[in-house]
């Protein structure tokens, strides 16, 4: 990862933001705790000074010497002049003490060392008051508190720096890891952009958001790949399929030209050319229809449709033609209606295509059976014949656009009938399946009833 990339990485920015927030909270807490401890320490410091004053004052019962001795004993115990003692007689003379005679007002005062005649960087907290016929001044420097303050502030600063370093380092670590996985996504998309539709993002099954996103992208890429391959296939098939009728059209025109030159009638050639043009036209019409249905635009026209009524209408529509071809048709339908949401016109087309296939691809004497069954959740319909059927390894292929079985190459049709059936079933969210009727073909279409 380049350095500029790190600053732009979302995980790194998040880690930094959280680091900054954490640092802010940490410093705020530190300052509050520090202030509270400081207040308490000043209070305890005052208590200690007052305590010393009171205990010394307590030693002055009758004898001033006892009192002064006590002051001297305390005085000797102090080092570095951390504590100050001064006993002043009623004539204003120094009776005992470790500081020069200075003027200190009664009560509490906070004094710089210099005003006590001392050399020190620290201030002193001093309490002065009368003890019988003397005045006693007791004080203690803020040295311990200030040392502790320095220590606390120092450790707060160091800890903050540590937190900052940890959050930047942690953020960089997280960002690098995430970046590596995003990099894999980018590389894959780059390969896709350069035409490699089979490229997929490697999945490191962790189930986190990046893994889920990668899965979704892979799924979309799979769809894209099969769509593009489907389109490629269809374009090739169309080109291939149109070659034959166009060739035949060319031959008819050539033949007509030759006959014209010889002064012979050309009606047959014109008829043949017309038939080829119709065939080509039919192919394009059906292709356009399938595309239009697949776009789902017709779904807005959905309304209640009775499948039973549709099947009856189709049977009625084809009965004449089937009879002429030496075939027969029969229906087995439920007593009540089979209503669902759909497009009646498209459903008519679906069943018409299936019955038309029997008419086209089955021999004389074939019997067609239309049936329907209805439950609360679905409607199952079947178009069944006892003709030659379709081998089961071709069951998927016959749904491909322009695909026809080898034996049907010469029979009329475009190879788009079943593609249209599938497109119509799909927009009705129906389940479409070909089955062997032994002998014959059974097409089962199951519609959900919402």
- Rounded CA gap, 267 and 440, in Å? 41
Residue 40 neighbours by CB distance under 10 Å: 10
- Under the binding rule (CB under 5 A), the answer on residue 417 touching Mg ion is yes
CB of 423 to Mg ion, least distance (A): 13
Segment contacting Mg ion by CB under 5 A, of 125-133, 149-157, 412-420, 438-446: 412-420
Segment contacting Mg ion by CB under 5 A, of 29-37, 207-215, 281-289, 411-419: 411-419
- The smaller minimum CB distance to Mg ion, of residues 125 and 404, is found at 404
Element (H, E) at 83: strand 83-88
390 binds, among ligand ADP, Mg ion, none (CB under 5 to 8 A by kind): ligand ADP
- The smaller minimum CB distance to ligand ADP, of residues 93 and 410, is found at 410
356: tokens are 């038309």
CB of 392 to Mg ion, least distance (A): 19
Task: For residue 203, give the DSSP letter.
Answer: P
- Under the binding rule (CB under 5 A), the answer on residue 386 touching Mg ion is no
227: tokens are 């769509």
Segment contacting Mg ion by CB under 5 A, of 243-251, 299-307, 377-385, 413-421: 413-421
Q: Are 316 and 338 in contact (CB under 8 A)?
A: no
- The smaller minimum CB distance to ligand ADP, of residues 139 and 389, is found at 389
CB of 356 to Mg ion, least distance (A): 6
Q: Are 340 and 449 in contact (CB under 8 A)?
A: yes
DSSP string, 37-79: HHHHHHHHHHHHHHHHHHHHHHT-SS-HHHHHHHHHHHHHH-S
- The smaller minimum CB distance to ligand ADP, of residues 340 and 354, is found at 354
- The smaller minimum CB distance to ligand ADP, of residues 15 and 350, is found at 350
Tell me how many residues contact Mg ion (CB under 5 A): 3
241: tokens are 């399929």
- Rounded CA gap, 242 and 283, in Å? 9
The residue length of the chain stands at 450
CB of 282 to Mg ion, least distance (A): 11
441 binds, among Mg ion, ligand ADP, none (CB under 5 to 8 A by kind): ligand ADP
Residue 264 neighbours by CB distance under 10 Å: 12
CB of 272 to ligand ADP, least distance (A): 20
Kindly identify the residues of this chain, within the stretch 338-377, that bind Mg ion according to CB under 5 A. Answer: 357
Residue 97 neighbours by CB distance under 10 Å: 20
CB of 256 to Mg ion, least distance (A): 30
- The smaller minimum CB distance to ligand ADP, of residues 97 and 387, is found at 387
> Judging by DSSP bridges, how do beta strands 328-332 and 367-374 pair with one another?
parallel
- Under the binding rule (CB under 5 A), the answer on residue 419 touching Mg ion is no
- The smaller minimum CB distance to Mg ion, of residues 171 and 417, is found at 417
- The smaller minimum CB distance to Mg ion, of residues 272 and 420, is found at 420
CB of 278 to ligand ADP, least distance (A): 14
369 binds, among Mg ion, ligand ADP, none (CB under 5 to 8 A by kind): none
245 binds, among ligand ADP, Mg ion, none (CB under 5 to 8 A by kind): none
Positions in the binding site for ligand ADP (CB under 6 A): 357-358, 360-362, 385, 387-390, 398, 404-405, 408, 413-419, 441
- Rounded CA gap, 401 and 416, in Å? 5
Residue 6 neighbours by CB under 8 Å, 6+ apart: 12, 172, 175, 176, 179
Per residue, what are the HEC states of 126-151? Answer: EEEEEECCEEEEEEEECHHHHHHHHH
- Rounded CA gap, 130 and 113, in Å? 23
Segment contacting Mg ion by CB under 5 A, of 200-208, 232-240, 406-414, 420-428: 406-414
CB of 4 to ligand ADP, least distance (A): 58
- Rounded CA gap, 217 and 282, in Å? 38
Residues that bind Mg ion (CB under 5 A): 357, 413, 417
């Amino acid at each position: 990862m380049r350095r500029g990339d790190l600053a732009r990485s979302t995980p790194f920015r998040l880690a930094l933001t959280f680091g900054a927030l954490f640092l802010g909270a940490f410093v705020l807490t530190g300052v509050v705790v520090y202030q509270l401890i400081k207040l308490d320490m000043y209070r305890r410091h005052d208590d200690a000074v007052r305590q010393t004053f009171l205990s010394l004052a307590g030693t002055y019962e009758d004898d001033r010497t006892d009192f002064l001795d006590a002051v001297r004993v305390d005085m000797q115990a102090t080092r570095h002049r951390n504590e100050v003692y001064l006993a002043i007689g009623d004539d204003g003379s120094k009776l005992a003490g470790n500081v020069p005679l200075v003027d200190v007002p009664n009560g509490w005062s906070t004094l710089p060392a210099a005003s006590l005649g001392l050399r020190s960087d620290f201030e002193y907290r001093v309490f002065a008051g009368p003890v019988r016929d003397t005045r006693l001044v007791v004080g203690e420097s803020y040295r311990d508190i200030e040392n502790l303050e320095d220590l606390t502030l120092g450790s707060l600063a160091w800890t903050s720096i540590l937190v900052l370093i940890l959050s930047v380092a942690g953020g960089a670590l997280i960002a690098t890891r995430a970046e590596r996985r995003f990099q894999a996504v980018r590389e894959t998309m780059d390969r896709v952009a350069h035409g490699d539709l089979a490229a997929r993002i490697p999945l490191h099954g962790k189930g986190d958001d990046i893994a889920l996103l990668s899965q979704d992208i892979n799924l979309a890429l799979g769809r894209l790949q099969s769509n593009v391959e489907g389109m490629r296939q269809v374009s090739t098939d169309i080109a291939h399929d149109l070659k034959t009728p166009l060739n035949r059209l060319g031959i008819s025109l050539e033949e007509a030209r030759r006959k014209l030159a010889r002064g012979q009638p050309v009606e047959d050639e014109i008829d043949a050319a017309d038939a080829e043009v119709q065939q080509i036209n039919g192919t394009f019409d059906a292709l356009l229809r399938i595309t239009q249905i697949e776009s789902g635009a017709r779904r807005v026209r959905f309304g209640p449709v009775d499948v039973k009524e549709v099947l009856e209408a189709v049977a009625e529509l084809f009965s004449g033609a089937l009879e002429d071809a030496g075939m027969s048709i029969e229906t087995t339908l439920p007593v009540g209606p089979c209503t669902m949401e759909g497009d009646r016109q498209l459903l008519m087309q679906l069943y018409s295509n299936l019955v038309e296939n029997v008419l086209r691809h089955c021999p004389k004497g074939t019997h067609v059976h239309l049936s329907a069954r209805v439950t609360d959740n679905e409607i199952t319909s079947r178009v069944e014949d006892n003709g030659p059927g379709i081998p089961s390894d071709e069951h998927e292929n016959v749904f491909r656009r322009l695909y026809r079985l080898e034996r049907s190459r010469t029979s009329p049709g475009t190879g788009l009938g079943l593609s249209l059936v599938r497109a119509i079933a799909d927009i009705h969210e129906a389940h479409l399946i070909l089955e062997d009727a032994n002998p014959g073909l059974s097409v089962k279409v199951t519609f959900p009833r919402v």
